Amino acid sequence: MSKLWQKDYSLDSLMEEFTVSNDYILDQQLVIADCLGSIAHARGLHHIGILDAEELASLEEGLKKIISLKMEDSFPITKENEDCHTAIEGFLTDEYGEVGKKIHTGRSRNDQVQTALRIWMREFTLKLCRATGELCETLLSFAEKYAEVPMPGRTHMQIAMPSSLGLWAASYAEELYDEAQHMMHLSWLFDQSPLGSAASYGVPLPLDRQFTAEQMGFTRVQNNVLYANNSRGKFEAILLDGCDYIALTLSKLAQDLILFTLPEFGYFSLPKELCTGSSIMPQKKNPDGLELARSRSSVVSSCAARVKSIIRSLPSGYNRDFQDTKEPLLAGTKATWQLVQIFGRMMDGLQ
């Protein structure tokens, strides 16, 4: 299949490998979001008379078909496609003819990738906020259950004052509650539609950006089209920084648990299903998961730093460098998601 920008020559294969890199694989995660954005765009084109009702119906049918295929894990994106946007429009053109090309009227891939990422980030933020809230509840019930159990309070790691297990567990609950709140505030930032910003400078068509924003459930339009493109990477970094605070808290919790489960301390015992053994020392019950929680926390932090350093010196407008912010976004958010899940299990089974 040809590229959306296809000319009368083929791209050098080494350059193709270099520019596409693993983007087409990562883009599997954006297929559904792009389809939702594309449905909104198609409705927007119909709304201003560029598509007729029949054309809109075909496109909506095709895009819903792609969503179903994706849900069965059978929507392929090839390296030649470059990205999900090309694969999606290619599918529509193969199945429905010219109208598959017509959907590209008034939009650019930059616009599409921004819209898909925005939808993805908005959803992730809300999901993470809820999951972090659930972890708070688990920590709070742990705190309540053991409220009266004495535990040494330490400063400088030295025994300092008598304290309780309740105070210890509730401190993490309260800290994570604030971080979940912070995530909630971030979801407001992501709740603005970039669709219609095109390559960075808008298009000379009377697109109704408020209408398409509403189709996607955004409360508002990201007004300035150049800002809409310049916020690529920036919003990713803001989200990853938010994730980093959660990861940082969980890294500290991991460290407490690693220390306090040592036989020398013996405050806690970890659920055995969450520990690994040693191939040479059968007495071992290793907290590998907690150790990796510490290191994953620095993965999240480095993903945030990576995105910021990619965008820091870019001139305004779209630059292909933006593509390389996708991998740290997906890696850092995945690590955070897993951390939150793992600690739910850990606190549930902690003795």
**Residues in the site for ligand ARG, rule: CB under 6 A?**
23, 83, 109-110, 113, 318, 320, 322-323, 326
Task: Kindly calculate the radius of gyration of the chain based on its CA atoms and give it in whole angstroms.
Answer: 24
Q: Closer to ligand ARG at the Cβ: 80 or 174? A: 80
Nearest to 340 by CA among 134, 47, 160, 43: 134
Angle between helices 31-47 and 109-145 (to 10 degrees): 130
Q: Closer to ligand ARG at the Cβ: 132 or 197? A: 197
CB of 318 to ligand ARG, least distance (A): 6
CB of 187 to ligand ARG, least distance (A): 23
Question: 156 an active-site residue?
Answer: yes
CB of 309 to ligand ARG, least distance (A): 17
CB of 50 to ligand ARG, least distance (A): 22
Q: Are 218 and 192 in contact (CB under 8 A)?
A: yes
Angle between helices 326-349 and 109-145 (to 10 degrees): 20
Question: 41 an active-site residue?
Answer: no
Q: Which of 68, 278, 295, 309 is catalytic?
A: 278
Q: Closer to ligand ARG at the Cβ: 35 or 254? A: 35
Is the sign of the CA dihedral 82, 88, 93, 95 positive or negative? Answer: positive
CA 110 to chain centroid:
18
Q: Which of 13, 74, 156, 279 is catalytic?
A: 156
Nearest to 285 by CA among 269, 296, 299: 269
Q: Closer to ligand ARG at the Cβ: 32 or 342? A: 32
User: H-helix or E-strand containing 159?
Assistant: strand 158-164
Q: Which residues are catalytic?
A: 156, 278
